[in-house]
Amino acid sequence: MTTSQPAPVSPLIDADTLATALAGPRPPVVLDVRYRLGQPSRRPAYLEGHVPGAVFVDLDTQLAAPPGPRGRHPLPEPGDFGAAMRAAGVSADSQVVVYDDGQGWAAARTWWLLRWSGHSAVRVLDGGFPSWTGALETGAPAPAAGDFVPRPGALPTLDAGSAAELARKGLLFDARAGERYRGEVEPIDPVGGHIPGAVSAPTAENVLPDGRFRPVAELRARFADLGADGDQAVGVYCGSGVSAAQEVLALELAGVRAALYPGSWSEWTADSGRPVATGAERG
């Protein structure tokens, strides 16, 4: 006699399923992490209307430590991250759903941080806030404090040294736009280009025009074409470890476990002694 195993829960959730869950006996904790690089906090937009019950979490101050030699968005201290999550109502047994403006970057960063910290029951709203067609709530709720305590290390990470080694011996994806990878433009960091040996894999190609992730079969084909065939270790970096989390999520959907380089290009280029490659080739 064989025993069937339950199907794995997708790290994504659609708006209709979220609406049903919110109406159920144990609604999930919903985190609004809307964020736009280089722009003011999206909290005012959140206060004007958000998914009912959602709590706003600020990426720059609650999902990252202050910028410095470790990059523009270093990982937050576990104690600080835990305090932010407890204040948002997250407990060890909570089901958590996160959403952003639709590009998936900030939501995936939150998903990754919770997973890395040992919280497995977290999903990303596919398509983000634009996909939500239900009623909106204004103002800010006051959730009961949660009890979640981070236990970092549940997901793999890279530092500058291991990222460089992976680029040589495995597969290191650069999730930024292709022109930044090639060094043609660099609007944020002091130096353009990429880590020698890294492969260009822009996050924009992981999603459809409406911000939803591409079907799993398409993601598998995409990453297989880029070399992620299951035979070698995979890692991802971006500018500051935010958009790369979206690529880690896309890879998980495709069945590939990938390590995140949290410091990413902003940390790499903080040391002028580290090599930089330019052009379309891996270098």
In eight-state DSSP terms, residue 207 is B
Extract the tokens encoding 99. 């959403």
- Cβ atoms of 228 and 234 closer than 8 Å: yes
- Cβ atoms of 32 and 47 closer than 8 Å: no
188 is catalytic: no
Q: CA 175, CA 210: separation in Å to the nearest integer? A: 19
Length of the chain: 283
3-state secondary structure of 222: helix
Beta bridge partners of 111: none
Catalytic residue among 238, 244, 249, 270: 238
Q: CA 209, CA 214: separation in Å to the nearest integer? A: 10
- Cβ atoms of 83 and 59 closer than 8 Å: no
Q: CA 250, CA 220: separation in Å to the nearest integer? A: 9
Residue appearing with tokens 């971006």: 238
Q: CA 96, CA 136: separation in Å to the nearest integer? A: 18
- For 15, phi then psi, to 5°, come to -65, -40
> So which residues are the catalytic ones?
238
